[in-house]
Structure 1
Amino acid sequence: METQQAGRATIVVLTHNRRMQVLGTLDCLCRLPGKWPIVVVDNGSTDGTARAIASRFPSVMLIRAKRNMGAAARNFGVAYAQTPYVAFCDDDTQWEPGALERAITLLDNSPSVAVVSACVQVGATRRPDPTCLSMAQSPLAREQLPGPQLLGFMAGACVMRTSAFYEVGGYWPPFFIGGEEALMALDLVERGWRIVYADDVITRHFPSLSRDTRLRERLLIRNAIWVAWMRRPFRAAWHETNVQWRAARDRGIAWPTMVQMVLGLPRALRYRKVVSPAVESMRALLDITAGSPGTPVSQNPDRRTA
């Protein structure tokens, strides 16, 4: 059974300049029961990451991006997947034994579900990720789904239908990092797909200390505004802009954040396609319970997707 399941999902790992961490992650993934196809996308690393992976894990498919593409580099990995499902993993996350099998079974039994967002346990103490605790209490209707319904997911800790990924066109490159899940989630649900949280699909997260948290905060705010103007009605988009502006001001990053947002807004507006009233009502419900269960994980600056 394990071998059969392993042939039905490809693990796509994204890494950038974290040679030791990604080697540890791959060591754990290669020890999972069954032989899971693994594709690593090296996001333009300059620390010898690609050479180390090729030397130590010759059975792993390695894709070398010429530059850091951010979250959209996952698109390269999915392009090489020959399986109906894709399990995403960052260089600091590791799937637990049995997690992928459970996700595949859930997807097999629930044809309307496109994404299973995993339960993330942080560090050696296995502390539950706060976002997962929130997702478990999502206010969105269950609709006889196999888990709490979401309007977001963790890009580096989820299992997705490959066909659904292609249906929405993958991740939008201009985001770089932060917010890419929000746009994809809206587009998936708009097309009738569902996203669920599964607390028995577990991945471990060992956060790196080498993070530019300030940069990530700016990108999260910028991208949240872009997503709002790409998919939400005018009033909701304007409200989101005001909310994010205040967040940037309170963090002391308003000027650089808003300059970046305004410069990229015309390009975002070229892709504007407002979601249906049904999907907007789901998003509005989450706005009412702000910072709420079921909201896109990209709103949490502690999460890294590239």
Structure 2
Amino acid sequence: MSLPTVAAVVLSQGTRPVELAKALDTLLAQTGIELDVLVVGNGWVPEGLPEGVRSHHEPQNLGIPEGRNVGARLSHGDIILFYDDDAWLPAPDTLARLVATMESDPHLAIVQPRPTDPDGRPGPRRWVPRPGANGAEVGGDIVQFWEGVHLERRTAFDQVGGWPGEFFYGHEGIDLAMRLLDAGWRILYAPGIIVHHPALPASRHAVFYRMNARNRVWVARRNLPHPLDWTYVAVWVLITLLRTRDREALRIWFAGLREGYTTDAGPRHPISWRTVARMTALGRPPII
């Protein structure tokens, strides 16, 4: 009986060589599967990679979602692992367990494991795909997911057109999840399967506040029916004002908000009201 083949796409700018080496070492140590490992150098020529790891060089940084799209197109396997270059797998059967979960239901488009910081630091809010203080320990169907380490079924990924490449950074997973759910697919959180990733704030990225706001607007303009598109943005304006005390950060955020309404958001395909009801029943109505 042949083993399932997983296309492992690792996006890197070459700025974390020690972390990338550990990510690849623990990936190549996985058992019970066949691997096609591809490192996409996003504005970096990949070098010093282990034997058996393929590479692809993009002269310019395409951003995270489009870099992942490139990796998906050039990789081989019915299941795609999108894998951050500073993540690592703590056990040799981690990936096989994720694949077995994916293969247990042909309607699953995405399986997300539970990320934990290896030094025991609390994980950021974005790691938990459901609301509530205990959400990290509650498995089951979800409507959004953490992009850092997860499996995607290639047929589902291709059906909805992959990642929104124009987003560059931020909320691309929300956009993809809405399109998958609207196409009838399931997204599953499997907290019993652990992966490691350093707990670092997303705001460390220079483009965070601008693209956080711009891409919130793009998610709404592309995916939400009226009047939920306006409601979604209004709710996030309120949340941002309550969370953010830095005036310069707020200035950049509101500039990004304006950019979201004055630039091309890409094709608009509003989700159905049935999908809205499904998301609401799963605990995240598409206004938060």
The 1:221–1:113 alpha-carbon spacing in structure 2 relative to 1, beyond 3 Å, is same
Deviations 1:229-277 (A, max 9, x none): 2111222111222233344554433433333343343554551121100
Letter in 2 for 1:36: L
| Structure with bigger RCO (C-alpha 8 Å, 6+ apart) | 1
The 1:184–1:104 alpha-carbon spacing in structure 2 relative to 1, beyond 3 Å, is same
Distance 1:94 1:237 in 2: 37
The 1:197–1:137 alpha-carbon spacing in structure 2 relative to 1, beyond 3 Å, is farther
- Partner secondary structure for residue 11 of structure 2: strand
Distance 1:247 1:116 in 2: 28
Q: Is the 8 A contact 1:137 1:148 kept in 2?
A: no
Shift, 1:107, TM fit: 1.8
Letter in 1 for 2:215: N
Q: Is the 8 A contact 1:225 1:244 kept in 2?
A: no
The 1:22–1:85 alpha-carbon spacing in structure 2 relative to 1, beyond 3 Å, is same
Q: Is the 8 A contact 2:30 2:96 kept in 1?
A: no
Deviations 1:137-166 (A, max 9, x none): 79xxxxxxxx51111111121111011111
Q: Is the 8 A contact 1:117 1:153 kept in 2?
A: yes
Does 2:281 match 1:271?
no
Distance 2:35 2:127 in 1: 25
Shift, 1:92, TM fit: 1.0
Does 2:21 match 1:30?
no
Does 2:18 match 1:11?
no
Distance 2:42 2:51 in 1: 18
Partner of 2:220: 228
Does 2:81 match 1:87?
yes
Deviations 1:173-212 (A, max 9, x none): 2211110000100000100101010122221112469973
The 1:41–1:203 alpha-carbon spacing in structure 2 relative to 1, beyond 3 Å, is same
Deviations 1:42-95 (A, max 9, x none): 1113xxx62233xxx242111111111122201111112221101111011113
Shift, 1:21, TM fit: 1.8
Greater per-residue helix proportion: 1
The 1:126–1:246 alpha-carbon spacing in structure 2 relative to 1, beyond 3 Å, is closer
Unaligned runs of 5+ in 2: 134-138
Distance 1:103 1:199 in 2: 11
Letter in 1 for 2:22: G
Distance 2:211 2:223 in 1: 18
- Partner secondary structure for residue 220 of structure 1: helix
The 1:266–1:223 alpha-carbon spacing in structure 2 relative to 1, beyond 3 Å, is same
Q: Is the 8 A contact 1:115 1:159 kept in 2?
A: yes
Q: Is the 8 A contact 1:92 1:207 kept in 2?
A: no
Letter in 1 for 2:102: L
Q: 1:149 aligns with which of 141, 163, 172?
A: 141
Unaligned runs of 5+ in 1: 139-146, 292-306
Distance 2:203 2:266 in 1: 32
- Partner secondary structure for residue 87 of structure 1: strand
Does 2:107 match 1:112?
yes
- Partner secondary structure for residue 55 of structure 2: strand
Q: 2:56 aligns with which of 48, 63, 78?
A: 63
Partner of 2:116: 121
Identity, % of aligned pairs?
24
Q: Is the 8 A contact 1:136 1:197 kept in 2?
A: no
Distance 1:185 1:103 in 2: 18
- Partner secondary structure for residue 151 of structure 1: coil
Distance 1:189 1:114 in 2: 9
Q: Is the 8 A contact 2:8 2:37 kept in 1?
A: yes
Q: How does 1:1-306 map to 2 (within 5 A)?
A: 4-5=2-3, 7-16=4-13, 17-33=15-31, 36-45=35-44, 50-53=46-49, 57-71=50-64, 72-96=66-90, 97-125=92-120, 130-131=125-126, 135=130, 147-207=139-199, 212-213=204-205, 215-249=207-241, 250=244, 251-252=246-247, 253-265=249-261, 267-284=263-280, 286=283
The normalised TM-score by structure 1 is 0.79
Distance 1:260 1:128 in 2: 26
Distance 2:128 2:77 in 1: 30
- Partner secondary structure for residue 217 of structure 1: helix
Q: Is the 8 A contact 1:114 1:161 kept in 2?
A: yes
